[in-house]
Amino acid sequence: MNNHWRRVAAGAAVLALVAGACGGGDDDAEPAPAPAEESAEEPAEEPAEETAEEPAEETPETTLVDVTIAPEVNVDPVFGGTLRFGLEADVDGLNPTQNNISASGYAMLNAIFDPLAIYDENGVAVPFLAESFTPNEDFTQWTVTLREGVTFHDGEVLNADAVAANFASLRASALPALAINPFFPPLADDGTDPGLIIIDDLTVQFNPLDSSAYFPAYLTGQLGMMASPAWLAASAEDPTLNQQPVGTGPFKYESRSEDSVTKVVRNEDWWGGDVYLDAIEFAPVTDATTRLDLLLNGELEGLHTTNLPDIEVMSETEGITQVIDETGEESFAMINSQVPPFNDIRARQALTLATDREGYQVLINEDLSTQANGRFVADNPYYNPDVVQAGDDVAAAQALVAEYCAELGDETNPLTGGSTCTDGRINMEFQWSGPSVVQDRIADLLIAQWDEAGFNVTRDMLLQDDHIIQVAIGAYNVVTWRQFGAAEASVDNVWLLCRTIGGISLNWPRYCDEDRDAALLAAQATTDPAERAALYQEAEQLINDAAVYVFFNHTRWSNALAEGVNNACAVSSPEGVMTRCVVNGAGRYEAIWMD
């Protein structure tokens, strides 16, 4: 590897991912996708006899567009080559049962681990390491049959005991368990786990707490990524081994220097068939422009980014192939509803109305993104056209500020340590992740109009790890954030339900709404497309009414590859089903080959 590139990558990768989430995105701080990509479900009677990948229904189509296609020089794949891939950040470890995995983490884990399920081109989970998924009648039990003959990189065999070991490791983890345990029954007094039952050597039964017709989607993430049981046991004794992962995937761990380079090499014995690349070197380069420069200068062969100007540059650069996905995460401001002043909806509504959404779109996004009114893009059947994100109404915000301060201005804001109001103005803390030029610009933009509307803003720029810890424990008033965008909508329930509020919360705004929860859980239990759409539209209205998120835009992800890198979107399941090319910035690599 080029020594100059190694130095630049190490210097640019300042922020590591830590404690319960990730950040370091090209625009906003971002929590890890639900550490286990979980949902909610419950035990019941015998499984139905038929096998189901997922119930048939009209699934929302995912917009994945190759905006620039480089001509392929060769027709047939060739073996060899090292792909150097630039990531937006690093993660604190590569153990899917113990570490909290972001887009960058998934980009690396997808090389080393295989999931039980994988998304097809339409966002429906289909078997991958699993051979089949079989639900019972009310979708409260899911029987998973494994493929025979799959081995881990250390020679261990993938079987039901291995799945149980992975599930137990997740359940016992410090942080990923927060996304698992609220959705499965507690351990029995004798220590057995009713959440997962071994049926035979290649069959297990998952028994979540709530009915879900879409449970296989949760097996596409950390819950479904299978690690060697021997390695899990060793890493439990020596956590440094979390940096040396052992999976079943197309590539094997070779070396890792945190915040610098993680190298994986071809698994010659991969159960899924041929793997073409000799190796992949993943380098976290947190500055998006530096990452692009490395690609343009030939010191990277690939990268992912959400930086819109860089995406435009690449679309105009000959030879670069991009896969664009705008159906994923949303960028927004997020409000803590649990402490004054924003435990009062008038204060939340005032801040929402005072937010300069138009300025954000024009000055930050350069009018290159699609503004968001909620979690879904406009052509998604779950999009509610009646839900409109409020903002840019300073006069209405001022009226609510005056009303709030007249009634509750003497309460204490624990984040500022003083009263909630001074001279008729609301005192608040605004926190963001840095150091970041873009984040500083966003802060300046938002604070200017909040100030005009009657908010005294205490600025609080924190290093990424501290920032995410503060959000998780509720020690914030308002933050900028990036989240949601699961390919299967119910996977995002982990961020929304009342049951994930606690001392450490994954429901970051700490807002409980039983009606919202009922709609979300009903939506994951039905296979009727019209009923499901109506329930999600109802939930979107309730989320909007709560005024805990001020949505800015739908994040546009680009996975870009240099000329001569081919076949990124040619991964299929063992049954030949074409899979979704990327999910929130993370793809797979077994089909890629280089000229």
| Residue 159's CATH number | 3.40.190.10
Among candidate residues 463, 445, 398, the one with its CA nearest the CA of residue 426: 398
Mean pLDDT of each 10-residue bin along the chain, 595 residues long: 35 28 44 37 33 41 41 74 96 94 94 99 97 98 99 99 99 92 96 97 98 98 98 98 99 97 99 98 94 98 95 97 91 98 99 99 93 96 98 99 99 98 99 88 98 99 86 97 94 98 97 99 98 99 99 96 97 97 95 97
CB-based contact 72:321 (threshold 8 Å)? no
Same domain, 160 and 302: yes
φ, ψ at 407 (rounded to 5°): -100, -40
Looking at the structure, tell me whether residues 348 and 469 fall in a common domain.
yes
Residue range(s) defining the domain that contains residue 396: 330-554
Q: What is the pLDDT of residue 27?
A: 52
Q: How confident is the model at residue 466, as a pLDDT?
A: 86
Q: What count of other Cβ atoms lies within 10 Å of the Cβ of residue 407?
A: 12
Verify that 255 and 337 share a domain, yes or no: no
Q: CB neighbours (10 Å) of residue 268?
A: 8
Is residue 442 located within the same domain as residue 487?
A: yes
In terms of domains, do 295 and 341 share one? no
Q: What is the pLDDT of residue 100?
A: 81
520 and 502 in a common domain = yes
Q: Which residues contact 3 (CB under 8 A, 6 or more apart)?
A: none
Instruction: Specify whether 96 is located in the same domain as 135.
Output: yes
Instruction: Please give the helix or strand (H or E) that residue 279 lies within, else none.
Output: strand 279-284
Structure confidence at residue 75 (pLDDT):
73
Are 455 and 565 within one domain?
no
Residue 531, both tokens: 């009923």
| pTM, rounded to two decimals | 0.87
Per DSSP, the residues of 172-186 read T-SSGGGGTGGGSPP
Count of domains observed in the chain? 2
112 & 8 share domain? yes
- Torsions phi, psi of 336, nearest 5? -80, 110
Does residue 431 share a domain with residue 294? no
Residues 562 and 513 in one domain: no
Shared domain check, 399 and 546:
yes
**Beta strand pairing status for 478-483 and 425-434?**
parallel
What's the CATH code of the domain at 457? Answer: 3.10.105.10
